[in-house]
Amino acid sequence: MAKLKVSELKQHLKSYSNENLIRLIVELSKTSKEAQNFLAAEVQGEAAVAELHEEAKTQIQDEFFPRKGEPKLRLSQAKKAISNFAKFTGNQFLKTDLMLYYVELGTEFTVANGDIDGPFYYSLATMFDQVADACNRDERLYQQLSERLEAVVLNARGIGWDYPDNLADSYYSIEWLDEEE
């Protein structure tokens, strides 16, 4: 596959007329759903971001609690929905919301269906740790997610594989907790 450097692309695009740039972007939008989603978020703004957020939530939910059929638990697919959303929109709050949603559903799935395995819990705990880190960097984000963060830690009690301890360690590392007490 031919590799195009960003600097080379920029140099080439500078020579394009507006009409040719429009044609190129329209053609690019036809090449993939990813390109369409990226451009929709850029052009349509918050409405497209909200729609992409709901689509990502549905993709995550379908891995744990599908509308039809049995759960597939393809954690890589759920995580891909999160990373694609972030790539298309750049919205850090909603990305973190999706990350927490992933952990919530994974925890809920375990409570409803019983023990899974170590890699499953490692994936959830790692994602929760990233959410806690994001909350440490942004008090407003923490304030908006605080009830859900606490709830997932409480819901994890009784699950094996040190999962509850891992979540609790991440949760209690959030510096804003000290200010609430």
* pLDDT tens, residue by residue, 129-164: 999 999 999 999 999 999 999 999 999 999 988 999
* pLDDT tens, residue by residue, 22-55: 888 888 778 778 777 777 777 777 889 999 999 9
CB atoms within 10 A of CB 20: 11
The total number of structural domains in the chain stands at 1
Kindly state whether residue 92 falls inside one of the protein's structural domains.
yes
Give residues with Cβ within 8 angstroms of 117, minimum separation 6.
161
Kindly state whether residue 26 falls inside one of the protein's structural domains.
no
Q: Identity (one letter) of the amino acid at 21? A: L
* pLDDT tens, residue by residue, 51-85: 999 999 999 999 999 999 999 999 999 999 999 99
Kindly state whether residue 80 falls inside one of the protein's structural domains.
yes
**pTM of the entire predicted model:** 0.87
Q: Name the residue range of residue 131's domain.
A: 55-180
Kindly state whether residue 23 falls inside one of the protein's structural domains.
no
Q: Identity (one letter) of the amino acid at 163? A: Y
Kindly state whether residue 60 falls inside one of the protein's structural domains.
yes
Q: Would you state the pLDDT for residue 30?
A: 80
Cα–Cα distances in Å, from 106 out to 24, 34, 35, 84, 120? Answer: 42, 26, 29, 19, 8
- Distance between the two ends of the chain, CA-based, in angstroms? 57
Cα–Cα distances in Å, from 130 out to 74, 97, 99, 102, 173? Answer: 20, 11, 8, 12, 12
Question: What are the structure tokens assigned to 137, written together?
Answer: 């960097």
Kindly state whether residue 137 falls inside one of the protein's structural domains.
yes
Kindly state whether residue 171 falls inside one of the protein's structural domains.
yes
How far is it, in rounded angstroms, from Cα 42 to Cα 176?
33
Kindly state whether residue 112 falls inside one of the protein's structural domains.
yes
